[in-house]
Amino acid sequence: MKVLAAVSPNKITFQEREMPAAGEGQIVIKVEAVGVCQTDLDVLEGKRREKDWQPPRVLGHEISGVVYETGKGVKNVKTGQSIVVNPVMSCGECFYCKKGILGCVNGRLIGGSTDGGMQEYLCIPAENAVPVPDSISKEAAAIIEPFACVLTAFRKVTISPGDTVVIAGPGIGGLCFTQLSKNCGAKVILIGTRDERLELGKKLGADVTVNIRKENALDIVLNETNGFGADVFFEASGNGSVIDEAMDMTRGSGSIVAYGIPFGLIDFDLQKLILKDQALISGAGPWQTFDEAVKLLEEGKVVLNDFVTHVHKMDEIEEVIKMVKERQPKLMKAVLKW
Ligand SMILES: [Zn+2]
Ligand SMILES: [Zn+2]
């Protein structure tokens, strides 16, 4: 079978490898679609701090496929079934696993610390396969993983009907927060810099959009909330300096959720946070949220189809990497297929 392997930093090449075989409790899937994300580039470039997140590595942790072979004792999926891969492999035994929280001390990530989806067939523990109905496209199924990450952060706050939610960053994360907040009956104010993305946000339910290149976000948020500020603020832009502004746009005793991952250290006014009695919360990882993510998609409460802007063949990987690196404006998510 064909494998697209990151063999050394910045070098990615095709290899011919033997077909995997499903051992006990494992399955082999035929890979249908793989989403390409910044994490893949970080591993490819050897930028990750973790020792085992380095090339040589087969990239890809956003994976959909069809079950090709099941090993002994596998009961949760059948051959021919469509699935999405939960890339987080946890031991089930350690302190964190027993508590049911993120942080397994023996945890591995498929496509990070172990080989991922950029191969024709992939062997995984059966428990990491989550069935998806055929009504969800293979491309959309491949990006359930980022949506499952959003759900982890979203679950940390409670949003009630009539609440106002401000979301910074109309990328996949921000636009998932938009849909989830609307489902709770909130008024959503979406902040960004690109009109096209903000338009898509409107289509997905945002009530008010603010392009900070042309408008003052703080004025608009205060105006929309009788001067109080939002009940909940989701930072999904990855620009850490937004956190300080978020404190002004959020009401006293409101919550700020940091989701977008910034680079470097962030300055913010901790005194302001404390005196306003605000909660600053973070959330990461698709931890135990895949089932809920699939259910929300199946019910049509969240749609991901609009986010897959580019579908490419595996052999166009170089082109896709270039686009992701250059943050090509029209690119939201590129998905690779064989
Ligand atoms: Zn990812
Ligand atoms: Zn564990």
The reply to whether 252 and 181 lie within a common domain is yes
Same domain, 89 and 134: yes
Closest ligand relative to 102 C-alpha: 2
If you average pLDDT over residues 21-43, what whole number do you get?
96
Name the domain boundary from 264, 282, 300: 282
CA of 43 to the centre of ligand 1 (A): 11
CB 71 within 8 A of CB 145: no
The whole-model pTM stands at 0.94
Whether 98 and 194 map to the same domain: the answer is no
Residue 226, domain CATH: 3.40.50.720
| Pairing mode, strands 308-313 and 333-337 | parallel
Q: Which tokens in the block code for residue 82?
A: 């469509």
In the reported structure, the alpha carbon of residue 35 is separated from the centroid of ligand 1 by a whole-number distance in angstroms of 7
Are 142 and 188 found together in one domain? no
pLDDT band per the 50, 70, 90 thresholds, residue 328: confident
Q: How would you class 305 by CB atoms within 10 Å of its CB: exposed for 0-12, middle for 13-18, buried for 19 or more?
A: exposed
Q: How many domains does the chain have?
A: 2
From the CA of 110, how far away is ligand 1's center (Å)? Answer: 11
Do 278 and 296 belong together in one domain?
Answer: no
State whether 132 and 172 are in the same domain: no
- 7 and 142 co-located in one domain: yes
Q: Quick one: 246 and 182 in the same domain?
A: yes
Q: What is the CATH number of the domain that holds 144?
A: 3.90.180.10
Measured in angstroms, how far is the CA atom of residue 231 from the centroid of ligand 1? 28
Q: Residue 302 is part of which domain span?
A: 2-148+286-337
Q: What are the residues whose beta carbons fall under 8 Å from the beta carbon of 180, sequence distance 6 or more?
A: 150, 151, 154, 296, 302
pLDDT at 49: 85
In this structure, the answer to whether residues 250 and 310 fall within a common structural domain is no
How far does the centroid of ligand 2 lie from the alpha carbon of residue 201, in Å?
A: 37
Same domain, 20 and 141: yes
User: Are residue 6 and residue 131 in the same domain, yes or no?
Assistant: yes
- The number of the ligand nearest the C-alpha atom of 145 reads 1
Percent of the chain with pLDDT over 90: 91
In this predicted model, what pLDDT tens digit does every residue of 178-232 receive, in sequence order? 999 999 999 999 999 999 999 999 999 999 999 999 999 999 999 999 999 999 9
